[in-house]
């Protein structure tokens, strides 16, 4: 068995040569140091710019302008798609490869989250591999863990910090007290945020990733339209500082859990977690995933969630899988047996404890007016801090409610807005009550 496997060589076509693609070529060049069960060679590459400096010699590898042509080349056994984007050339390349019966390895979270069902069905129809470890949580081998290692337990909840940019921003806002805009600008300068940060800070990137994990863990059809998504751009430094006084951290948490036998909730939003919570400990650009299951309890995985090396390592883990045996359904179960549905939760049904952050105008009666609106909406206050207004003329206030429907808080805050007693738009953030 062993000698045959050890001498087997897979010939790759790599479509997309950004930092991850270059990192992959560097790692393949070092394969004698690795423990791969077979050999890898690179037959062809494709990217937008041939001349870009990549820190790796590609002069001996055939250059192909069209990634679809690369995918179909006779000397390409496996297609590695690192182009990115849910549609366009990435999708065309993946589809062409799978239709030709070639294994596809991709880091493309948007593609799998938005077209996962049809692409998985394509792979299954041709009995070929579609692997995407690098699409979720970078170097953390979480996709294979959920698909294979944890296929013998009942997953109850998957939650995590899946976007390193947002986690870096929130960690820095806590550390420095600086506002969102200036921390984002620093993150861009340091390479922790893209020049167009929207996909990250909006929560969309984390939403793509958690939907992929949810589909596998719960046997659910990926349906991106049903994921509830909120990002970090509305969070004020004062919300983070006052949460810390309550011994909480604000994290952008991506989570999925089973609401009933056929329904899975999936959402990304800022959440207050207790400072001893496993996700509270994850700082800077790290990612983490917590899997709660029966009969294990809680498993926590953490590590670098992005970057050339970590993401290339995840691609390598999928390449290693190709040597291990025949293809399996990309989403764990066959696409036509993904019977659970992702379904958004209504604001009325969304029960929880809530953090309200706002800046109150510094004049008599304002605080009473705010708390009266909450009382009228039947919202009970657990804890509250109001600080002195200082130079800004607006007094920071943070309220933690007892459990109630989100809709009740939303209605109360709408009335508060009519009273014109706050200097800014109040923030409404879920409090995770479990430690």
Q: Provide, rounded to whole angstroms, the least separation between the CB of residue 271 and a copy of itself.
A: 20
Residues 302/282, Cβ–Cβ less than 8 Å: yes
36 near a copy of itself (CB under 8 A): yes
10 Å CB burial of residue 253 (0-12, 13-18, 19+) is buried
Query: Which is nearer to a copy of itself, 156 or 188 (by Cβ)?
Result: 156
319 near a copy of itself (CB under 8 A): yes
10 Å CB burial of residue 387 (0-12, 13-18, 19+) is middle
Q: Which one-letter DSSP state was computed for residue 306?
A: S
Q: Provide, rounded to whole angstroms, the least separation between the CB of residue 20 and a copy of itself.
A: 11
CA distance 167 to 268: 13
Which residue in the list 91, 102, 209, 251 is annotated as catalytic?
Answer: 209
CA distance 299 to 146: 11
Q: Catalytic annotation on 383?
A: no
53, 196, 294, 391: which one binds a copy of itself (CB under 8 A): 294
5, 368, 381, 419: which one binds a copy of itself (CB under 8 A): 5
Q: Which one-letter DSSP state was computed for residue 336?
A: G
CA distance 346 to 161: 24
CA distance 103 to 185: 40
Residues 286/304, Cβ–Cβ less than 8 Å: yes
Query: Which is nearer to a copy of itself, 299 or 369 (by Cβ)?
Result: 299
Site string for a copy of itself, 132-151 (x = CB under 8 A): -x-----xxx--xx--xxxx
27 near a copy of itself (CB under 8 A): yes
303 near a copy of itself (CB under 8 A): yes
Of 175-214, binders to a copy of itself (CB under 8 A) are: none
For 94, the token pair is 């993946």
Place of tokens 């206050």: 381
156, 263, 300, 347: which one binds a copy of itself (CB under 8 A): 300
Active site residues: 209
Write out the residues near a copy of itself by the rule CB under 8 A.
1-2, 5-6, 23, 26-27, 30, 33-37, 124, 127, 133, 139-141, 144-145, 148-154, 219, 278, 281, 293-304, 308-310, 312-313, 316-317, 319-321, 324-329, 332-334, 337
């Amino acid at each position: 068995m062993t000698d045959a496997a050890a001498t087997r060589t897979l010939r790759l076509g790599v479509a997309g040569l950004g930092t991850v693609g270059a990192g992959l070529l560097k790692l393949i060049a070092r394969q004698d140091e690795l423990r791969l069960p077979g050999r890898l060679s690179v037959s062809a590459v494709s990217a937008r710019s041939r001349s870009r400096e990549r820190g790796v010699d590609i002069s001996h590898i055939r250059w192909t302008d069209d990634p679809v042509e690369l995918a179909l080349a006779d000397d390409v056994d496996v297609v590695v798609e690192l182009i990115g984007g849910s549609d366009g050339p990435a999708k065309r390349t993946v589809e062409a490869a799978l239709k030709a019966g070639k294994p596809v390895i991709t880091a493309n979270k948007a593609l799998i989250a938005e077209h996962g069902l049809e692409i998985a069905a394509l792979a299954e129809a041709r009995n070929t591999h579609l692997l995407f470890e690098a699409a979720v949580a970078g170097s953390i081998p979480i996709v294979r863990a959920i698909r294979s290692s944890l296929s013998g337990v009942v997953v109850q909840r998957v939650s995590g910090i899946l976007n390193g940019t947002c986690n870096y921003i929130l960690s820095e806002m806590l550390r420095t007290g600086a506002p969102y805009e200036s921390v984002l600008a620093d993150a861009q300068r340091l390479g922790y945020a893209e020049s167009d940060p929207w996909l990250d800070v909006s929560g969309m990137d984390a939403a793509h990733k958690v939907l992929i994990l949810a589909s596998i863990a719960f046997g659910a059809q990926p349906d991106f339209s049903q994921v509830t998504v909120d990002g970090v751009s509305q969070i004020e430094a004062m919300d983070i500082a006052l949460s810390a006084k309550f011994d909480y951290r604000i994290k952008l948490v991506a989570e999925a859990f089973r609401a009933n036998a056929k329904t899975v909730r999936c959402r990304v939003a800022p959440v207050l977690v207790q400072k001893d919570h496993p996700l509270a400990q994850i700082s800077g650009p790290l990612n983490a995933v917590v899997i709660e299951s029966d009969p294990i309890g809680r498993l926590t995985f953490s590590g670098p969630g992005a970057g050339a090396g970590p993401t290339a390592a995840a691609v390598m883990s999928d390449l290693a899988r190709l040597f291990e045996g025949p293809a399996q359904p990309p989403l764990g179960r066959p696409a036509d047996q993904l019977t659970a549905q992702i379904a958004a939760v209504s604001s009325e049904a969304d029960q929880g404890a809530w953090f309200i952050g706002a800046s109150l105008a510094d004049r008599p009666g304002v605080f009473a007016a705010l708390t009266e609106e909450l009382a009228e909406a039947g919202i009970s206050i657990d804890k509250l801090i109001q600080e002195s207004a200082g130079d800004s003329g607006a007094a920071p206030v943070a309220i933690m409610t007892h459990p109630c429907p989100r809709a009740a808080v939303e209605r109360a805050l709408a009335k508060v807005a009519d009273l014109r007693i706050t200097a800014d738009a109040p923030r409404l953030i879920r409090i995770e009550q479990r430690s």
